[in-house]
Structure 1
Amino acid sequence: MRSVSLFMGLTMTLAVAAGLWAAPPARAEEAQAQTQAVCDVPESLLQSESALPKVADIIKGGRPLDILVIGSRSSSIGASEDFAYPARLQAALREQLPSAMAVNVSVELQARKSADEVVKDLPALLAAKRPALVIWQTGTVDAMRSVDPDDFRGAVDDGIAAMRSAGADVVLMNLQYSPRTETMISVPPYLDNMRAVAQEHDVPLFDRFAIMRQWNDNGDFDLFNSSHGIELAKRVHDCIGRALSKFVIGAAHPAPQQQN
Protein backbone atom coordinates (compact mmCIF):
# COMPACT_ATOMS: atom_id res chain seq x y z
CA MET A 1 0.00 0.00 0.00
CA ARG A 2 1.47 3.35 -0.96
CA SER A 3 1.09 6.43 1.19
CA VAL A 4 0.73 8.64 -1.83
CA SER A 5 -2.21 6.58 -3.06
CA LEU A 6 -3.99 7.44 0.17
CA PHE A 7 -3.65 11.14 -0.62
CA MET A 8 -4.55 10.72 -4.26
CA GLY A 9 -7.50 8.53 -3.38
CA LEU A 10 -9.16 11.19 -1.28
CA THR A 11 -12.01 13.44 -2.45
CA MET A 12 -12.77 16.97 -1.30
CA THR A 13 -16.20 17.64 0.19
CA LEU A 14 -18.57 19.68 -1.93
CA ALA A 15 -18.60 22.53 0.55
CA VAL A 16 -14.85 22.88 0.44
CA ALA A 17 -14.68 22.44 -3.32
CA ALA A 18 -17.29 25.11 -3.90
CA GLY A 19 -15.38 27.62 -1.83
CA LEU A 20 -11.88 26.90 -3.10
CA TRP A 21 -11.89 25.80 -6.71
CA ALA A 22 -14.51 27.88 -8.53
CA ALA A 23 -14.18 31.25 -6.80
CA PRO A 24 -14.32 34.15 -9.27
CA PRO A 25 -11.96 37.11 -8.81
CA ALA A 26 -14.64 39.09 -6.98
CA ARG A 27 -14.68 36.41 -4.28
CA ALA A 28 -10.90 36.10 -3.89
CA GLU A 29 -10.90 37.37 -0.32
CA GLU A 30 -13.71 35.01 0.63
CA ALA A 31 -11.88 32.06 -0.96
CA GLN A 32 -8.70 32.97 0.92
CA ALA A 33 -10.61 33.10 4.21
CA GLN A 34 -12.11 29.68 3.51
CA THR A 35 -8.65 28.30 2.70
CA GLN A 36 -7.32 29.57 6.00
CA ALA A 37 -10.29 28.05 7.84
CA VAL A 38 -9.70 24.67 6.21
CA CYS A 39 -6.06 24.78 7.34
CA ASP A 40 -6.95 25.81 10.87
CA VAL A 41 -4.77 24.02 13.45
CA PRO A 42 -5.01 24.46 17.23
CA GLU A 43 -2.07 26.37 18.65
CA SER A 44 -1.37 23.43 20.95
CA LEU A 45 -0.39 21.36 17.90
CA LEU A 46 1.87 24.09 16.53
CA GLN A 47 3.84 24.71 19.70
CA SER A 48 6.80 22.80 21.06
CA GLU A 49 8.68 23.06 24.31
CA SER A 50 11.74 21.81 22.44
CA ALA A 51 13.79 24.36 20.52
CA LEU A 52 15.70 24.59 17.25
CA PRO A 53 18.84 26.50 18.34
CA LYS A 54 20.74 26.23 15.06
CA VAL A 55 17.75 27.45 13.05
CA ALA A 56 17.31 30.31 15.53
CA ASP A 57 20.95 31.31 15.13
CA ILE A 58 20.71 31.24 11.33
CA ILE A 59 17.56 33.37 11.33
CA LYS A 60 19.19 35.84 13.72
CA GLY A 61 22.21 36.13 11.44
CA GLY A 62 20.16 36.26 8.24
CA ARG A 63 22.17 33.41 6.73
CA PRO A 64 20.84 30.83 4.23
CA LEU A 65 18.61 28.21 5.86
CA ASP A 66 19.08 24.76 4.33
CA ILE A 67 16.45 22.20 5.26
CA LEU A 68 16.44 18.51 4.36
CA VAL A 69 13.17 16.57 4.39
CA ILE A 70 13.68 12.82 4.71
CA GLY A 71 10.42 11.07 4.01
CA SER A 72 8.40 8.37 2.33
CA ARG A 73 6.07 8.58 -0.67
CA SER A 74 3.69 10.79 1.32
CA SER A 75 6.29 13.56 0.98
CA SER A 76 5.46 13.79 -2.73
CA ILE A 77 2.55 14.05 -5.16
CA GLY A 78 3.94 12.23 -8.15
CA ALA A 79 4.54 14.68 -10.99
CA SER A 80 3.22 17.65 -8.98
CA GLU A 81 6.18 18.17 -6.67
CA ASP A 82 5.69 21.94 -6.66
CA PHE A 83 2.49 21.24 -4.71
CA ALA A 84 3.98 18.70 -2.26
CA TYR A 85 4.39 19.81 1.33
CA PRO A 86 8.21 20.32 1.22
CA ALA A 87 7.79 22.86 -1.60
CA ARG A 88 4.87 24.50 0.20
CA LEU A 89 6.99 24.62 3.37
CA GLN A 90 9.73 26.41 1.47
CA ALA A 91 7.27 28.93 0.02
CA ALA A 92 5.67 29.59 3.42
CA LEU A 93 9.02 30.09 5.15
CA ARG A 94 10.12 32.52 2.45
CA GLU A 95 6.94 34.50 3.07
CA GLN A 96 7.39 34.62 6.84
CA LEU A 97 11.15 35.18 7.12
CA PRO A 98 13.05 38.29 5.97
CA SER A 99 12.95 38.66 2.19
CA ALA A 100 16.75 38.85 1.94
CA MET A 101 17.14 35.50 3.68
CA ALA A 102 17.53 32.42 1.45
CA VAL A 103 15.48 29.33 2.37
CA ASN A 104 16.15 26.08 0.55
CA VAL A 105 14.25 22.85 1.15
CA SER A 106 15.51 19.64 -0.45
CA VAL A 107 13.83 16.25 -0.31
CA GLU A 108 15.29 12.77 0.06
CA LEU A 109 12.60 10.18 -0.61
CA GLN A 110 13.19 6.89 1.19
CA ALA A 111 10.32 4.92 -0.32
CA ARG A 112 9.54 1.59 1.33
CA LYS A 113 12.41 1.96 3.83
CA SER A 114 12.00 1.36 7.53
CA ALA A 115 13.53 3.76 10.04
CA ASP A 116 16.43 1.35 10.57
CA GLU A 117 17.13 1.21 6.82
CA VAL A 118 17.05 5.00 6.58
CA VAL A 119 19.51 5.36 9.46
CA LYS A 120 22.07 3.23 7.63
CA ASP A 121 22.18 5.80 4.81
CA LEU A 122 22.29 8.87 7.05
CA PRO A 123 26.06 9.46 7.43
CA ALA A 124 26.66 9.79 3.69
CA LEU A 125 23.45 11.74 3.11
CA LEU A 126 24.12 14.26 5.87
CA ALA A 127 27.74 14.70 4.78
CA ALA A 128 26.58 15.50 1.26
CA LYS A 129 23.67 17.81 2.14
CA ARG A 130 24.98 19.45 5.34
CA PRO A 131 21.52 20.76 6.35
CA ALA A 132 20.90 23.09 9.27
CA LEU A 133 17.59 21.35 9.90
CA VAL A 134 16.43 17.81 9.15
CA ILE A 135 12.70 17.07 9.10
CA TRP A 136 12.42 13.32 9.44
CA GLN A 137 9.07 11.86 8.45
CA THR A 138 8.97 8.26 9.62
CA GLY A 139 6.84 5.47 11.05
CA THR A 140 4.62 4.61 8.09
CA VAL A 141 6.70 1.79 6.62
CA ASP A 142 7.46 0.38 10.06
CA ALA A 143 3.76 0.31 10.94
CA MET A 144 2.86 -1.34 7.63
CA ARG A 145 5.53 -4.00 8.19
CA SER A 146 4.61 -4.43 11.86
CA VAL A 147 8.21 -3.81 12.86
CA ASP A 148 8.76 -4.42 16.56
CA PRO A 149 7.93 -1.06 18.23
CA ASP A 150 11.03 -1.31 20.44
CA ASP A 151 13.23 -1.81 17.37
CA PHE A 152 11.53 1.16 15.73
CA ARG A 153 12.19 3.28 18.80
CA GLY A 154 15.85 2.27 18.78
CA ALA A 155 16.19 3.22 15.10
CA VAL A 156 14.62 6.65 15.65
CA ASP A 157 16.94 7.14 18.62
CA ASP A 158 19.97 6.29 16.45
CA GLY A 159 18.75 8.56 13.66
CA ILE A 160 18.41 11.59 15.91
CA ALA A 161 21.90 10.95 17.31
CA ALA A 162 23.35 10.80 13.79
CA MET A 163 21.62 14.01 12.71
CA ARG A 164 22.80 15.90 15.75
CA SER A 165 26.33 14.56 15.34
CA ALA A 166 26.25 16.07 11.85
CA GLY A 167 25.39 19.45 13.41
CA ALA A 168 21.74 19.62 12.39
CA ASP A 169 18.62 20.51 14.31
CA VAL A 170 15.91 17.84 14.08
CA VAL A 171 12.13 17.85 13.74
CA LEU A 172 10.33 14.52 13.82
CA MET A 173 7.13 14.13 11.80
CA ASN A 174 4.87 11.17 12.47
CA LEU A 175 2.52 9.21 10.21
CA GLN A 176 -0.27 10.68 8.15
CA TYR A 177 -3.82 9.96 9.27
CA SER A 178 -6.13 7.82 7.15
CA PRO A 179 -9.46 6.56 8.51
CA ARG A 180 -9.49 3.86 5.82
CA THR A 181 -6.34 2.20 7.16
CA GLU A 182 -6.83 2.90 10.86
CA THR A 183 -8.44 -0.51 11.43
CA MET A 184 -5.89 -2.32 9.25
CA ILE A 185 -2.63 -0.96 10.69
CA SER A 186 -1.85 -0.55 14.38
CA VAL A 187 -0.28 2.91 14.54
CA PRO A 188 -0.47 3.84 18.28
CA PRO A 189 2.77 2.01 19.25
CA TYR A 190 4.72 3.95 16.63
CA LEU A 191 3.10 7.27 17.51
CA ASP A 192 3.81 6.66 21.20
CA ASN A 193 7.43 5.69 20.60
CA MET A 194 8.09 8.73 18.44
CA ARG A 195 6.64 10.94 21.14
CA ALA A 196 8.77 9.25 23.80
CA VAL A 197 12.00 9.56 21.78
CA ALA A 198 11.26 13.20 20.97
CA GLN A 199 10.83 13.97 24.66
CA GLU A 200 13.95 12.02 25.59
CA HIS A 201 16.10 13.94 23.09
CA ASP A 202 14.28 17.27 23.51
CA VAL A 203 13.37 17.29 19.80
CA PRO A 204 10.24 18.98 18.39
CA LEU A 205 7.60 16.54 17.14
CA PHE A 206 5.27 17.75 14.39
CA ASP A 207 2.09 15.73 15.02
CA ARG A 208 0.87 15.32 11.45
CA PHE A 209 -1.36 12.43 12.51
CA ALA A 210 -3.33 14.51 15.02
CA ILE A 211 -3.57 17.49 12.67
CA MET A 212 -4.96 15.45 9.78
CA ARG A 213 -7.34 13.57 12.06
CA GLN A 214 -8.76 16.86 13.28
CA TRP A 215 -9.25 18.09 9.71
CA ASN A 216 -11.11 14.86 8.93
CA ASP A 217 -13.21 14.94 12.10
CA ASN A 218 -14.13 18.59 11.53
CA GLY A 219 -15.19 17.87 7.95
CA ASP A 220 -12.51 20.15 6.49
CA PHE A 221 -11.26 17.26 4.35
CA ASP A 222 -13.00 13.96 3.64
CA LEU A 223 -10.06 11.61 4.12
CA PHE A 224 -12.23 8.49 4.00
CA ASN A 225 -13.55 8.75 0.46
CA SER A 226 -11.49 6.53 -1.85
CA SER A 227 -12.29 8.23 -5.18
CA HIS A 228 -9.29 9.80 -6.87
CA GLY A 229 -8.59 13.50 -6.40
CA ILE A 230 -5.22 15.08 -7.07
CA GLU A 231 -6.63 18.47 -6.14
CA LEU A 232 -7.39 17.26 -2.62
CA ALA A 233 -3.84 15.96 -2.30
CA LYS A 234 -2.56 19.41 -3.28
CA ARG A 235 -4.80 21.09 -0.71
CA VAL A 236 -3.74 18.77 2.10
CA HIS A 237 -0.07 19.17 1.24
CA ASP A 238 -0.41 22.95 1.11
CA CYS A 239 -2.01 22.98 4.55
CA ILE A 240 0.64 20.66 5.97
CA GLY A 241 3.41 22.83 4.52
CA ARG A 242 2.00 26.00 6.01
CA ALA A 243 1.38 24.41 9.40
CA LEU A 244 4.90 23.01 9.39
CA SER A 245 6.37 26.44 8.61
CA LYS A 246 4.62 27.91 11.65
CA PHE A 247 5.83 25.01 13.76
CA VAL A 248 9.47 25.47 12.69
CA ILE A 249 9.44 29.23 13.22
CA GLY A 250 7.75 28.79 16.58
CA ALA A 251 10.37 26.29 17.73
CA ALA A 252 13.15 28.65 16.57
CA HIS A 253 11.64 31.52 18.61
CA PRO A 254 12.79 34.37 16.33
CA ALA A 255 12.40 37.96 17.48
CA PRO A 256 9.48 39.86 15.81
CA GLN A 257 11.89 41.94 13.71
CA GLN A 258 13.32 38.70 12.26
CA GLN A 259 10.02 37.88 10.58
CA ASN A 260 8.26 39.59 7.68
Structure 2
Amino acid sequence: MLAGLLVVAPARADDPPACEVPAYLLTSESTLPRVAAAVKPGGKLNILVIGSRSSVIGVADSSIAYPGRLQAILREKLPTVEVNVSLELQVKKTAEEVAPSLGKLVADKKPDLVIWQTGTVDAMRSVDADDFRGAIDDGVAAMRSAGTDVILMNLQYSPRTETMISPSAYIDNMRVVAQQHDVPLFDRFAIMRNWNETGDFDLFSASPGVELAKRVHDCLARALSTFVIDAAHVNPAELRIQR
Protein backbone atom coordinates (compact mmCIF):
# COMPACT_ATOMS: atom_id res chain seq x y z
CA MET A 1 0.00 0.00 0.00
CA LEU A 2 2.87 2.40 0.78
CA ALA A 3 4.23 1.83 -2.69
CA GLY A 4 0.98 3.04 -4.17
CA LEU A 5 1.23 6.38 -2.41
CA LEU A 6 4.04 7.72 -4.58
CA VAL A 7 3.21 5.86 -7.78
CA VAL A 8 1.58 8.69 -9.66
CA ALA A 9 0.91 9.87 -13.16
CA PRO A 10 0.83 13.47 -14.39
CA ALA A 11 -2.36 14.85 -15.81
CA ARG A 12 -0.69 15.16 -19.24
CA ALA A 13 2.05 12.75 -20.24
CA ASP A 14 3.82 15.31 -22.43
CA ASP A 15 4.01 18.09 -19.81
CA PRO A 16 5.67 18.08 -16.39
CA PRO A 17 3.27 18.95 -13.55
CA ALA A 18 3.04 22.57 -12.50
CA CYS A 19 2.48 21.41 -8.90
CA GLU A 20 1.50 24.86 -7.71
CA VAL A 21 0.38 25.13 -4.09
CA PRO A 22 -2.12 27.66 -2.69
CA ALA A 23 -0.33 30.26 -0.60
CA TYR A 24 -2.31 29.42 2.54
CA LEU A 25 -0.81 25.91 2.54
CA LEU A 26 2.72 27.29 2.50
CA THR A 27 2.46 29.81 5.32
CA SER A 28 2.53 29.34 9.07
CA GLU A 29 1.94 31.58 12.06
CA SER A 30 4.60 29.59 13.90
CA THR A 31 8.21 30.54 13.29
CA LEU A 32 11.64 28.90 13.02
CA PRO A 33 13.99 31.11 15.08
CA ARG A 34 16.98 28.74 14.95
CA VAL A 35 16.73 28.52 11.19
CA ALA A 36 16.53 32.30 10.97
CA ALA A 37 19.67 32.61 13.10
CA ALA A 38 21.54 30.08 10.96
CA VAL A 39 20.55 31.56 7.60
CA LYS A 40 23.06 34.37 7.32
CA PRO A 41 25.79 34.99 4.71
CA GLY A 42 28.51 32.49 5.54
CA GLY A 43 26.20 30.63 7.88
CA LYS A 44 25.44 26.92 8.09
CA LEU A 45 21.98 25.34 8.17
CA ASN A 46 21.68 21.71 9.21
CA ILE A 47 18.32 20.01 8.66
CA LEU A 48 17.41 16.50 9.81
CA VAL A 49 14.47 14.73 8.17
CA ILE A 50 13.05 11.94 10.30
CA GLY A 51 10.99 9.96 7.86
CA SER A 52 9.44 6.70 6.81
CA ARG A 53 9.76 4.70 3.63
CA SER A 54 7.83 7.33 1.69
CA SER A 55 10.81 9.66 2.13
CA VAL A 56 12.64 7.71 -0.58
CA ILE A 57 10.06 5.43 -2.17
CA GLY A 58 9.92 5.28 -5.93
CA VAL A 59 13.49 6.43 -6.54
CA ALA A 60 16.75 4.50 -6.26
CA ASP A 61 18.97 7.59 -5.93
CA SER A 62 18.59 9.36 -2.59
CA SER A 63 19.64 12.66 -4.17
CA ILE A 64 16.36 12.81 -6.09
CA ALA A 65 14.16 11.85 -3.15
CA TYR A 66 12.57 14.87 -1.49
CA PRO A 67 15.19 15.29 1.31
CA GLY A 68 17.98 15.36 -1.27
CA ARG A 69 16.05 17.69 -3.52
CA LEU A 70 15.27 19.92 -0.52
CA GLN A 71 19.00 20.30 0.10
CA ALA A 72 19.68 21.18 -3.55
CA ILE A 73 16.82 23.68 -3.78
CA LEU A 74 17.69 25.43 -0.51
CA ARG A 75 21.32 25.68 -1.62
CA GLU A 76 20.09 27.34 -4.80
CA LYS A 77 17.78 29.73 -2.96
CA LEU A 78 20.32 30.49 -0.20
CA PRO A 79 23.63 30.56 -2.09
CA THR A 80 25.69 32.13 0.70
CA VAL A 81 24.58 29.55 3.28
CA GLU A 82 25.98 26.04 3.67
CA VAL A 83 22.84 23.87 3.68
CA ASN A 84 22.98 20.21 4.64
CA VAL A 85 19.96 17.91 4.82
CA SER A 86 20.32 14.43 6.31
CA LEU A 87 17.74 11.66 6.54
CA GLU A 88 17.05 9.36 9.47
CA LEU A 89 14.73 6.57 8.31
CA GLN A 90 12.32 5.03 10.83
CA VAL A 91 10.78 2.34 8.65
CA LYS A 92 7.49 0.79 9.77
CA LYS A 93 7.60 2.54 13.14
CA THR A 94 4.73 4.32 14.83
CA ALA A 95 5.13 7.73 16.45
CA GLU A 96 5.11 6.04 19.84
CA GLU A 97 8.03 3.84 18.77
CA VAL A 98 10.01 6.77 17.39
CA ALA A 99 9.36 9.46 20.02
CA PRO A 100 11.60 8.11 22.86
CA SER A 101 14.72 8.35 20.68
CA LEU A 102 14.16 11.87 19.36
CA GLY A 103 15.74 13.85 22.19
CA LYS A 104 18.99 11.89 22.01
CA LEU A 105 18.97 11.99 18.21
CA VAL A 106 18.80 15.78 18.26
CA ALA A 107 21.45 16.01 20.99
CA ASP A 108 23.80 13.80 18.93
CA LYS A 109 23.25 15.35 15.49
CA LYS A 110 22.63 18.94 16.59
CA PRO A 111 20.37 20.05 13.70
CA ASP A 112 18.97 23.54 13.47
CA LEU A 113 15.71 22.06 12.19
CA VAL A 114 14.04 18.67 12.38
CA ILE A 115 11.29 17.78 9.91
CA TRP A 116 9.37 14.91 11.49
CA GLN A 117 7.33 13.04 8.91
CA THR A 118 4.88 10.70 10.62
CA GLY A 119 1.33 9.38 10.79
CA THR A 120 1.10 6.89 7.92
CA VAL A 121 2.18 3.81 9.88
CA ASP A 122 -0.09 4.81 12.79
CA ALA A 123 -3.05 5.14 10.43
CA MET A 124 -2.29 1.80 8.79
CA ARG A 125 -2.15 0.09 12.18
CA SER A 126 -5.19 1.99 13.49
CA VAL A 127 -3.24 3.24 16.50
CA ASP A 128 -5.45 4.88 19.11
CA ALA A 129 -5.70 8.57 18.23
CA ASP A 130 -5.08 9.72 21.81
CA ASP A 131 -1.97 7.55 22.04
CA PHE A 132 -0.78 8.99 18.74
CA ARG A 133 -1.32 12.55 19.96
CA GLY A 134 0.54 11.79 23.19
CA ALA A 135 3.50 10.36 21.27
CA ILE A 136 3.69 13.39 18.97
CA ASP A 137 3.46 15.69 21.98
CA ASP A 138 6.29 13.86 23.77
CA GLY A 139 8.46 13.78 20.66
CA VAL A 140 8.11 17.48 19.86
CA ALA A 141 8.74 18.45 23.50
CA ALA A 142 11.89 16.31 23.62
CA MET A 143 13.29 17.72 20.40
CA ARG A 144 12.68 21.33 21.35
CA SER A 145 14.22 20.75 24.78
CA ALA A 146 17.27 19.32 23.00
CA GLY A 147 17.62 22.59 21.09
CA THR A 148 16.13 22.50 17.62
CA ASP A 149 13.32 23.97 15.57
CA VAL A 150 10.67 21.44 14.53
CA ILE A 151 8.34 21.08 11.56
CA LEU A 152 5.70 18.38 11.65
CA MET A 153 4.83 16.77 8.31
CA ASN A 154 1.63 14.75 8.09
CA LEU A 155 0.55 11.83 5.90
CA GLN A 156 0.56 11.58 2.14
CA TYR A 157 -2.74 11.83 0.30
CA SER A 158 -3.85 8.95 -1.90
CA PRO A 159 -7.43 8.31 -3.04
CA ARG A 160 -6.43 4.68 -3.59
CA THR A 161 -5.86 4.13 0.13
CA GLU A 162 -8.67 6.21 1.61
CA THR A 163 -10.91 3.15 1.69
CA MET A 164 -8.25 1.22 3.63
CA ILE A 165 -7.10 3.79 6.20
CA SER A 166 -8.82 6.71 7.90
CA PRO A 167 -6.33 9.58 8.19
CA SER A 168 -8.52 12.36 9.60
CA ALA A 169 -7.95 11.67 13.31
CA TYR A 170 -4.18 11.58 12.85
CA ILE A 171 -4.14 14.74 10.74
CA ASP A 172 -6.30 16.57 13.31
CA ASN A 173 -4.14 15.46 16.24
CA MET A 174 -0.93 16.54 14.52
CA ARG A 175 -2.47 19.96 13.96
CA VAL A 176 -3.46 20.18 17.63
CA VAL A 177 0.05 19.30 18.83
CA ALA A 178 1.62 21.74 16.36
CA GLN A 179 -0.59 24.54 17.72
CA GLN A 180 0.10 23.61 21.35
CA HIS A 181 3.87 23.70 20.82
CA ASP A 182 3.78 26.60 18.35
CA VAL A 183 5.61 24.65 15.64
CA PRO A 184 4.81 24.76 11.91
CA LEU A 185 2.82 21.94 10.32
CA PHE A 186 3.61 21.12 6.69
CA ASP A 187 0.26 19.83 5.46
CA ARG A 188 1.51 17.30 2.92
CA PHE A 189 -1.91 15.63 2.87
CA ALA A 190 -3.75 18.80 1.80
CA ILE A 191 -1.02 19.77 -0.68
CA MET A 192 -1.10 16.40 -2.45
CA ARG A 193 -4.90 16.36 -2.41
CA ASN A 194 -4.85 19.79 -4.07
CA TRP A 195 -2.51 18.47 -6.80
CA ASN A 196 -4.87 15.59 -7.40
CA GLU A 197 -7.96 17.80 -7.54
CA THR A 198 -6.36 20.36 -9.87
CA GLY A 199 -5.02 17.67 -12.19
CA ASP A 200 -1.31 18.31 -11.62
CA PHE A 201 -1.05 14.63 -10.69
CA ASP A 202 -3.48 11.76 -10.99
CA LEU A 203 -2.88 10.17 -7.61
CA PHE A 204 -5.41 7.43 -8.32
CA SER A 205 -3.31 6.01 -11.13
CA ALA A 206 -1.53 2.72 -10.52
CA SER A 207 0.93 3.31 -13.39
CA PRO A 208 4.48 2.92 -12.06
CA GLY A 209 7.50 4.89 -13.21
CA VAL A 210 10.64 6.39 -11.72
CA GLU A 211 10.20 9.65 -13.64
CA LEU A 212 6.75 10.12 -12.14
CA ALA A 213 7.95 9.49 -8.61
CA LYS A 214 10.83 11.92 -9.19
CA ARG A 215 8.35 14.66 -10.08
CA VAL A 216 6.39 14.14 -6.88
CA HIS A 217 9.57 14.20 -4.75
CA ASP A 218 10.73 17.35 -6.53
CA CYS A 219 7.38 19.09 -6.09
CA LEU A 220 7.28 18.22 -2.39
CA ALA A 221 10.82 19.54 -1.93
CA ARG A 222 10.00 22.80 -3.70
CA ALA A 223 6.91 23.33 -1.57
CA LEU A 224 8.83 22.45 1.58
CA SER A 225 11.69 24.84 0.75
CA THR A 226 9.19 27.69 0.38
CA PHE A 227 7.53 26.69 3.65
CA VAL A 228 10.84 26.65 5.56
CA ILE A 229 11.96 30.02 4.20
CA ASP A 230 8.58 31.61 4.95
CA ALA A 231 8.41 30.25 8.50
CA ALA A 232 11.94 31.50 9.19
CA HIS A 233 11.04 34.95 7.77
CA VAL A 234 14.07 34.83 5.50
CA ASN A 235 14.42 37.07 2.45
CA PRO A 236 16.57 35.07 -0.01
CA ALA A 237 17.31 38.21 -2.04
CA GLU A 238 19.30 39.58 0.88
CA LEU A 239 21.57 36.52 0.77
CA ARG A 240 22.32 36.66 -2.95
CA ILE A 241 25.75 38.22 -2.67
CA GLN A 242 29.12 36.98 -3.83
CA ARG A 243 30.89 34.65 -1.43
Larger radius of gyration: 1
Query: What value does the CA root-mean-square deviation take over the aligned residues?
Result: 1.4
Deviation at residue 232 of structure 1 after TM alignment: 1.1
Q: Equivalent residue for 1:28?
A: none
Measure, in 2, the Cα distance between the counterparts of 1:195 and 1:151: 15
Q: 1:4 to 1:65 in 2, by over 3 A?
A: farther
Contact 2:5 2:157 in 1 (8 A): no
Measure, in 1, the Cα distance between the counterparts of 2:202 and 2:170: 24
Measure, in 2, the Cα distance between the counterparts of 1:72 and 1:255: 31
- Deviating 4+ runs (over 3 angstroms): 255-260
Deviation at residue 61 of structure 1 after TM alignment: 6.0
What is the number of residues matched between the two proteins?
Answer: 239
Asked if 1:19 corresponds to 2:6, the answer is no
Partner amino acid, structure 2, of 1:59: V
Q: Equivalent residue for 1:30?
A: none
Q: Equivalent residue for 2:20?
A: 40
Q: Which moved more, 1:150-159 or 1:72-81?
A: 72-81
Contact 1:68 1:105 in 2 (8 A): yes
TM-score after normalising by structure 1: 0.88
Unaligned runs of 5+ in 2: none
Measure, in 1, the Cα distance between the counterparts of 2:224 and 2:5: 20
Deviation at residue 257 of structure 1 after TM alignment: 4.5
Asked if 1:135 corresponds to 2:100, the answer is no
TM-score after normalising by structure 2: 0.94
| Greater fraction of residues in helix | 1
Q: 1:117 to 1:90 in 2, by over 3 A?
A: same
Match of 1:81 among 62, 78, 83: 62
Deviation at residue 100 of structure 1 after TM alignment: 2.6
Deviation at residue 5 of structure 1 after TM alignment: 4.1
Unaligned runs of 5+ in 1: 21-34
Deviation at residue 119 of structure 1 after TM alignment: 0.9
Deviation at residue 256 of structure 1 after TM alignment: 5.3
The share of aligned pairs that are identical, in percent, is: 65
Q: 1:168 to 1:61 in 2, by over 3 A?
A: farther
Contact 1:56 1:253 in 2 (8 A): yes
